[in-house]
Amino acid sequence: MTFSAQLEARFDKLLKSYPPGRQRSAMIPMLLYAQDEIGQITDELVNEVANRIGSTPLQVNEVLSYYSMLHTKPLGKYHVQVCTNISCLLHDGDKLYEHACKKLGIGHKEVTADGEFSIEEVECMGACSWAPAIQVNYDFHHHVTPEKLDQLLDGLRKKPV
Amino acid sequence: MLFNEPSPLETKVLTRRFGLPNSASIDTYLATEGYQAFLKAAKMKPEEIIGEVKASNLRGRGGAGFPTGMKWGFVPRTSPKPKYIVVNGDESEPGTCKDRVLIENDPHQLIEGVLIAGLSVDAHAGYIYIRGEYRYLIEVMEKAIAEAYEKGWLGKNIQGTGFDFELYAHTGAGAYECGEESALLESLEGKRGIPRIRPPFPAVAGAFQSPTILNNVETFCAVPAILRDGGAAFAALGIPKSGGTKMTCLTGHVNKPGVYELRLGFPVKQMIEEVGGGIRNGKKLKAFVPGGSSCPVLTAAEVEGATMDYDSMAARKTMLGSGGVIIMDEDTCMVKAALRIMRFYAHESCGWCIPCREGTTWLKKILMRFHDGGGTRTDIDLIGDIAKNMLGRTFCPLGDAAAMPTISIVEKFRQEFEDHLNGKPCPYEHSGSVVTV
């Protein structure tokens, strides 16, 4: 597989970051960074990563199924992650999540028909003091109200590609 | 960037650079006594460095509260194996968001803490494990690391001291369990985050089966101040046996939620009323969680006279934990709170130990049924019984983390469970919304 020069540079750096014979350590970062570029983790990517770190595809698949941020299905262009864990719940994070689902017409881990948005109800993401919080892809948004969420999603929808 | 206003009641040691222009840059760091503690430590003997850390009474800030100096002392310094320093930046205990601000606003303080730890055990490489959700902090950390290499604070023969150190930022990919130290090491080695059987402890066989110092971000961030001003000065900021300050995340129903650095032993009531601006909408306090959702909850009565330190919380049969304070007002449904907490632990259980895997799942199901109005009187005791049977029966603390808040909620708020019996609607749930799956 070929990746962007930037990602290849990241891979090179990762493979040099661990003691000799311990290149397997690069697996999780490589999968996550590659997923960011190609959108999801495919069988082809699993084989590629396994080859580069000297592991087997089985070892990669075993790891893949454990981590909640590694996805084998495509997400929306904007992956909307709403936290409903306790500190966000106390600030109506559950209602915010329901609002987001209604607004986009999709549920947990579903993608809109146009591929623009996906939703995930997520566990604590470390924004507890600024609840309720969401992440759109990797961007945090704090103190989110249903109105702010609407504005944010409408703004993203209009954004030219 | 700071997400909340600081409080005048803070004791600013780890956060002393917060709010300065470009507080994350190496220039700001060097202009404000940065890396001076490392230079001081480089002239000291390793046992003297560890002695200062012991004198500071610094205890692990990730949640377990183990004395840091003692932990460092367990590393066999003369082992022929390479030694490693690993930073736990997996911050994922619900209610906790302090390591995030420490890395974002002062990453060089963390690097300096790691370097000093390296000097104390003759380690020459380190890894900063940051949870995957904190992607932007990987960029912050990589930039800081690059600056440190460029200015000669990392790499070979640092500032002519003859000490070499290589440092790397490593991303996780979403797993609460990886905050547990042995699971984190597995994850760092490219595996599922399943805890290891101990002994051996990481001090002897940690990263890559080599002796390893593994501490929380906040713990390492306290080290430069300890070396700079002396362990005794840091200890004096807190109370006997609990030295220094604690990054405290006020969350839930307070007027001014935020991350604040408070001296250990800070009165809980003053923290809620003056730092947090009191309970929202003039309501009364119902339940108080001192340090992340795994801690047993305290009632308003139990909070009377409590102070934010290890001993005061232990005396109340709870823990200072990670500093993730969760404040619930009188309108909070404790059954729903217990359910949401359990849902989390059921989701995050790695599945290795049966009491944890099955216990969390069954408790989630029973609590869900209960909150939906399908609970029976025997369920109330059943919840407590299942939770008690998880305690101490798992390889890592996740089972206990799920059981402890549940037991405390059932025991202290039993009436609320009674109020949900016989299909009665939840007395607190005004909108009819119920937590999904």
User: Residues B201-216: pLDDT tens digits?
Assistant: 999 999 999 999 999 9
Mean pLDDT computed over B337-347: 96
Report the percentage of chain B scoring pLDDT > 70: 98
Q: Which residues of A touch B132 (CB under 8 A)?
A: 32, 67, 69
pLDDT at B435: 46
Model confidence at B242: pLDDT above 70: yes
Q: Which two tokens stand for residue B179?
A: 């905050």
Domain shared by A55 and A92, yes or no: no
Q: Do B94 and A24 touch (CB under 8 A)?
A: no
CA dist., res. B91 & res. B75, Å (int): 24
pLDDT at B190: 98
Q: Is B364 exposed, middle or buried (0-12, 13-18, 19+ CB in 10 A)?
A: buried
Per-residue pLDDT band at A161 (split at 50, 70, 90): low
- Cα A100 from chain centroid (whole Å): 17
Write the residue in A59, A86, A130 that is nearest to B341 by C-beta: A86
Residue A73 inside a domain? The answer is no
Model confidence at B385: pLDDT above 50: yes
Angle of helix B354-369 relative to helix B334-348, nearest 10 degrees? Answer: 150
Taking CA atoms, A124 is separated from A89, A111, A131, B235, in Å, by 10, 22, 10, 32
Q: Do B95 and A124 touch (CB under 8 A)?
A: yes
Whether the CB-CB separation of A81 and A140 falls below 8 Å is answered with no
Q: Which two tokens stand for residue B113?
A: 């803490």
Domain shared by B87 and B139, yes or no: yes
Maximum Cα–Cα distance across chain A = 52
Q: Sign of the C-alpha dihedral, residues B65, B66, B69, B71?
A: negative
Domain shared by B162 and B109, yes or no: yes
Write the residue in B92, B99, B136 that is nearest to A124 by C-beta: B92
Q: Which residue of B has its CA nearest to A143?
A: B3
Torsion angle, alpha carbons of B75, B126, B209, A17, to 10:
-160
Write out the residue range of the structural domain in which residue B61 sits.
26-237
Domain shared by A56 and A128, yes or no: no
Q: Which two tokens stand for residue A116?
A: 């623009």
Model confidence at B326: pLDDT above 70: yes
Q: Do B97 and A127 touch (CB under 8 A)?
A: yes
Give the CATH number for residue B364: 1.20.1440.230
Taking CA atoms, B82 is separated from A42, B69, B74, B167, in Å, by 36, 20, 15, 14
pLDDT at B241: 84
Beta bridge partners of B329: B285
β-pairing, B307-308 vs B266-267, is: antiparallel
Q: Which residues of B touch A18 (CB under 8 A)?
A: 208
Q: Decide: helix, strand or coil at residue B71.
A: helix
Q: Do B190 and A25 touch (CB under 8 A)?
A: yes
Q: Looking up tokens 């703004």, which residue turns up?
A: A155
Give the CATH number for residue A88: 3.40.30.10
Q: Is the ipTM of this complex over 0.90?
A: yes
Residue B255 inside a domain? The answer is yes
Domain shared by B89 and B107, yes or no: yes
> Taking all residues of chain A, what is their mean pLDDT, rounded to a whole number?
96
Q: Do A129 and B258 touch (CB under 8 A)?
A: yes
Find the range with the poorest average confidence among B1-15, B290-304, B365-379: B365-379
